[in-house]
Structure 1
Amino acid sequence: MTRLSDSLLDHLLLQDVPFGDLTTDSLGIGERPASITYSARNPMMLCGSEEAARMLEMKGALVEHLIPSGRLLAEGEPFLVATGNAEALHAVWKISQTLVEYLSGIATRTRRIVDAAHRIAPETVIACTRKNFPGTKEASTRAVRAGGGMMHRLGLSETILVFPEHRTFIAEPAALWIAALKARAPEKKIVVEVDKLADAEELMSCGIDVIQLEKFSPEDTARAVEIARRHSPMPAVAVAGGVTEDNVGAYVEAGCRLIVTSSPFFGKPCDVKVVLRPRRTEQAET
């Protein structure tokens, strides 16, 4: 996976240390040789370790140990060790720790949904929506991928997804506007979201590529999958709205192999332990 850009990481550092570290400077300890070690307090799917390492390098530190994103860590397992002067390590310490904690939280929740789905059907795809906190798309996308998921759509410019809020403006029959969409964008798949089973049946008969079921029960999802199987080619069936680690299995058992979810974005960060200490002397632990 491609890590976040230097420009974004530099922006994060400037937000946290815009005019130097007043505490470290005032104590006069900035030039002392130091080391920093990051480890998982609890089992977690790691994400953001490369970004933390790069921020350390940008401040002149030397990375001595690094486990890449996408690895499941055991409790207490170190994933990043670096050395440098105290000024550099203190400047990066908290912003990098927080970034890894938030990204690993998203990655861990994504992985749990992936695992729950794959226990039933390994071919199931978990796709996360664009409901990440605004301004964090690059980081959130990286975390979803580290957890084994993919992005449902990255933005409005990327895919054709017709919502009921679009269809309310359309007076002509579905077959006509779907044919018009296919003619205008022949290289794109036509995805339509519905919140009623009757609408799903009608739209699938018009040749759409993907039917997206919004807040359907597992029982209605199974009915929609059965309707889709009557068509050739069979439209893909995606279920969205309210899918979590706890209920994803029921949707997979209903025959759905494309799960659309926002739930990985909402939850607690993981907990990362950081030990920053003078080299070969006493340590300060957070």
Structure 2
Amino acid sequence: MSANAQKQVAAHRPSLPQILIVDAVRAALLEDLGRAGDLTTNATLPEEARARAVLSSREDGVICGVDFARAAFAAIDPAISFQALVGDGERVSPGQHVATVEGNARAILSAERVGLNFLMHLSGIATHTARFAALIAHTKARVCDTRKTIPGMRAFAKYAVKCGGGSNHRFGLDDAILIKDNHIAVAGGVAKAILAARAYAGHLVKIEVEVDGLEQMQQALDVGADVILLDNMGPELLEKAVEINAGRAKLEASGRIDFETIKAVAETGVDYISTSKITMAAPTLDIGLDIELR
């Protein structure tokens, strides 16, 4: 099966373990409620007050984080009714309802900010990723995230990338070997670093090496690197790298990737394009919660 054909195979929908969601939401609620709880809500609303609210998107985007919002309301009051109208990975337009919430008014308002924070942040990443992915949809290349994520949010940010149509790079220092320029400098060269890594790693661990020119790339090919990261190379140099590689290793382009450059990079024939912008520069998606008055 060709690389282009493989790209068209539908992947299973991404998912997250519920325990990760619940723990993250609980920590966020504890931070927000502090030592005395929601003073404003408790001071202005009677305990028995009930309300119905609608979560709506105020702009075009891709939704991600619905289960985080659901968990926030449930953590405050398990009796709250939360109905999702849009699932993670689905596109929304301005004014479109994402979910409805009904139950104790105090609980709804106390959970509102935490639920929206997760939903807006993750939907922003998914939306930003989708925009990058759309620009290279006609090529075999896939846009990938990096380890540049907000501490404590990596698994969730990478989930959002998947919901937006992107691919995940390594999750941490422990699931793949990526030999960078500083490793090469200390190890004594590209070949020495790769051979040392090969001797150390288990047979299931991939070895990737970062190179800054075609000479280093050839050294990496000669000793059998699985993936070669072509750092800060322009389209012409990337095309030469693809030709020299001749399908032997997977090629990843990185450096100075943005909406203006990614199309030309993808059209060189590389397999992956990694950028921290899809996680670190993504604006939040504007989503609001409005009480429905009766």
TM-score (norm 2): 0.87
Aligned-pair distance for 1:14? 1.1
Q: Is the 8 A contact 1:50 1:68 kept in 2?
A: no
Say what the alpha-carbon RMSD is for the aligned residues.
1.7
Unpaired runs of at least 5, structure 2: 1-14
Please tell me whether the aligned partners of residues 191 and 209 of structure 1 are also in contact (alpha carbons under 8 angstroms).
yes
Aligned to 1:256: 270
Letter in 2 for 1:82: V
CA distance in 1, matches of 2:249, 2:67: 39
Residue 166 of structure 1 corresponds to which residue in structure 2? 183
Partner of 2:261 in structure 1? 247
1:267 is matched with: 282
Deviations 1:169-208 (A, max 9, x none): 123x644543342232232222100122321122222221
Contact 1:174 1:206 in 2 (8 A): no
Counterpart of 1:217 in structure 2 is 234
CA-CA distance at 1:72 after TM superposition: 0.7
Cα distance in 2 for partners of 1:174, 1:140 equals 31
1:1-286 to structure 2, matched below 5 A, reads 1-2=15-16, 4-18=20-34, 19-60=36-77, 61-118=80-137, 120-121=138-139, 123-171=140-188, 174-185=190-201, 186-229=203-246, 234-265=248-279, 266-277=281-292, 280=294
The whole-number CA distance in structure 1 between the counterparts of 2:244 and 2:253 is 14
Question: Equivalent residue of 1:80, what SS?
Answer: strand
TM-score normalised by structure 1 residue count = 0.90
Mapped partners of 1:127, 1:90: distance in 2: 36
Q: 1:283 — aligned with what?
A: none
Equivalent position of 2:3 in the other structure = none
Query: What secondary structure sits across from 2:114 in the alignment?
Result: helix
* 8 Å contact kept, 2:178–2:209: yes
Identical columns (%): 29
Structure-2 separation of matches of 1:38 and 1:29: 23
